[in-house]
Structure 1
Amino acid sequence: MTRFEFIVNGPPVSQQTRRPHRLEAWRNTVRQEAEKYWSSEQKTATGLVMLQITYFYDSDKMDVDNIVKPIQDAMKGLAYVDDNQVSDLLVRKRNLSNNFRIENMTSTLAEGFARGNEFLHIVVIDAPNQEVII
C-alpha cells in the first residue's frame, strides 16, 4: 500500500455513544464509503500503517480520541488486515468556518469541500520508519 484516501460525510459517531445501533450504522457507512474509493489495483496492507483522520465540521462537541476507533474497525479487511497494524495516528478537527490553508490538496479532499457540508478525510499510508521517534 502506498496511499489510500477517501471521504465520509459527517458528523462521526463516537465510540462512547450510548446507542450501539448508531455506532454499528456509522461503521457500516465508513466501510461503504471506503469501498467506493477502493480500486482493484490496491492491495490490503499486511505491514504497519499510519491512519490520518481530519474532521471538517460546522459545529462539534466530539473529542478527537472518540472519532478513531469506529473508523479503524471499519477499515479492517480492506485497507489493512487488522487494526493492530495501525502504529501511527494523526487525528485533527478543523472548523469549516475558520480560516486555514491546505497544502497539497488532493482531488479527494477537494471533493469533500465541494460537497458543502461536514466531512471526514481519511488517509491510510505506510507507517513511518519505526526506528525513528520524532
Structure 2
Amino acid sequence: MRIIPFEFLIPRRPVSLQTKKRENLQVWKNFVRVEAQKVWKDNSPIKDADLQLTLVYLCDEFPADIDNIIKPIQDALVDLVLEDDSLVSDVDSHRRFMSDPIDIISLPSLLQRAVITGKECVYVKVSESQTLEKYL
C-alpha cells in the first residue's frame, strides 16, 4: 500500500543542520521521525521512485535558514518513508513568516490548518518527481 503523496506536519521550530549544539540535531531528527510515523501507514519505505520533497516552514522572527533545515528532515525519513535519501531528486522549500498575510484558500488542508494555528511548524510532503519541464 503506497501512500504518495505523503504529507505531515512538524509542530515545532526546526533545528538547523549548522547548529552548534549537535545533540539538539539528533533530538530534532528523532522528533521529525516520530511525527512522520504517526501518519506513515505503509509497512516499508519507498524503494523505487524518484521523489520530490516539499517543505513549507512557517516561522516567527529570527528563523533558521531554509537550506539548513532540509537535510535533517530528509535524514529523519530514511528507512521509514524512503529507503535512502538518494531517492529524493527534487527539493522544493519555502519559508513564510506567520506575521505576513497568507492566502490559505488554495493550500492543502493540512497546511491551511497550520497557518490558522499561528505557531511555528514545518509542512512536509513527499511525492513523485515530475518531469523537468513541469518545474521550469
Instruction: Answer whether contact 2:104 2:115 (CA < 8 A) is retained.
Output: no
Q: Kindly provide the amino acid, as one letter, of the partner of residue 68 in structure 1.
A: I
Give, in whole Å, the separation in 2 of the partners of 1:108 and 1:72.
19
Identity of aligned residues (%): 34
Within a 5 Å distance, the mapping from 1:17-96 to structure 2 comes to 17-40=19-42, 44-96=46-98
* Cα RMSD (Å): 2.2
How many pairs are equivalent? 134
- Residue 6 of structure 1 and its aligned partner are, at CA, apart by 0.3
Instruction: Answer whether contact 1:57 1:93 (CA < 8 A) is retained.
Output: yes
Distance 1:95 1:132, change over 3 A: closer
- Residue 115 of structure 1 and its aligned partner are, at CA, apart by 3.7
- Residue 15 of structure 1 and its aligned partner are, at CA, apart by 0.4
Q: Kindly provide the amino acid, as one letter, of the partner of residue 32 in structure 1.
A: V
Q: Structure 2 regions of 5+ residues with no counterpart?
A: none
In the TM superposition, structure 1's runs of 4+ consecutive aligned residues that sit over 4 Å from their partners are: 130-133
Q: Structure 1 regions of 5+ residues with no counterpart?
A: none
- Residue 117 of structure 1 and its aligned partner are, at CA, apart by 1.1
User: Per the alignment, in what secondary structure is the counterpart of residue 80 of structure 1?
Assistant: coil
- Residue 39 of structure 1 and its aligned partner are, at CA, apart by 2.1
Under a length normalisation based on structure 2, what TM-score does the superposition of the two structures give? 0.86
Give the equivalent residue in structure 1 for 2:9: 7
Give, in whole Å, the separation in 1 of the partners of 2:45 and 2:69.
25
